A and B are shown apart, each in its own frame.
Chain A
């Protein structure tokens, strides 16, 4: 069979097509292929608890438009989401809710800690009786985005970093980030 190789910049593998254009052959590794599919279609859970959520909404809106990178299907149910962007202060009263949402998400799942509040407690770090000082105490975090609040560009950068991270992991082994 006469085949020609097709060029795709972002596809991890080789694509061949025969002259008629009807049948194609892909040569790739299952890990790379699954990771490519996964990282380009992350479905974020809508979860915003305070001011950082405004920047997250802005990143989703027309001006910054995170669907360019494959994040457009924001879900309201954790059962359908594989990324939780924790945007906003997590108080002790909210901590069980965050934990439950995280537990309800199907594997593989990823967590982005957006903003100073989620990294260390931020402006509420000292002497606060109500704020969790860093959500990595209660859920494993993949990407931290500093800022108070981070700009939408920073959020997009963090999400692209997460995609890179996914592309460099084993697709069928669940690796929890170590603290």
Chain B
């Protein structure tokens, strides 16, 4: 079943291939064109994605994916936007200027995956302690070693 949002996406982004993931339509946008695409996604009258439901990342070593789940409260349609990053260059422009909700989401992704959001005003550790070593949700992360080192460096271990 073709939904109106899919027609609109095809019309507005003719260069992108529209796939679907679970029941949602999905598009993949390169890092460089992310901001201009977000501009169209939020302002175009046929799209009006005014709500960022979720911003998350997936580690598919050696690449990392950043996922934006968008919803339009005027039209009621949804879309997933994917951006792929190379492990050697984990930088992506922040989308806080389009969706205020991205502020905390980006902090979380930075905390867990180490992806730097350029343009975010206050990028810092959100859940993990400030002196934490590494990014826990990366596939290459050795969780138990880091945990033991943390206890040791804070002098919490007995005998």
Contacts and interface: CB of A to CB of B under 8 A. Distances in A.
A63 interface: no
Contact of A137 (B136, B141, B143, B158): B158
Interface in B20-44: none
B147 interface: yes
B156 A95 contact: yes
Contact of B146 (A99, A129, A137, A139): A129
Given A129-B141, A130-B136, A92 B147 contact: yes
B129 A129 contact: no
Nearest to A176: B158
Given A127-B144, A132-B147, A179 B159 contact: yes
Give the most central of A92, A133, A140: most B CB within 10 Å. A92
A131 B128 CA distance: 12
Contact of A129 (B136, B151, B159): B136
A48 B150 CA distance: 23
A140 B154 contact: no
B147 A128 contact: yes
Contacts of A136: 158
Given A92-B150, A92-B151, A139 B143 contact: no
Interface residues of A, number: 18
A96 interface: yes
Contacts of B151: 92, 95, 132, 137-138
B156 A129 contact: no
Given A93-B129, A129-B136, A140 B147 contact: no
A132 B154 CA distance: 13
A127 B146 CA distance: 11
Contacts of A132: 147, 151
Contacts of A133: 144, 147
Contacts of B156: 95-96, 99, 137-138
Contacts of B157: 137-138
A140 B156 CA distance: 12
A12 to B, nearest CB: 32
Interface string B119-140: 0000000001100000010000
A142 to B, nearest CB: 14
Contacts of A99: 156
A138 B156 CA distance: 6
A138 B155 CA distance: 9
Nearest to A178: B159
Interface of B: 128-129, 136, 141, 143-144, 146-147, 150-151, 154, 156-159
Given A96-B154, A133-B147, 20 more contacts: A92-B147, A92-B151, A93-B129, A95-B151, A95-B156, A99-B156, A127-B144, A128-B143, A128-B144, A128-B147, A130-B128, A130-B136, A130-B147, A132-B147, A132-B151, A136-B158, A137-B158, A138-B151, A138-B156, A138-B158
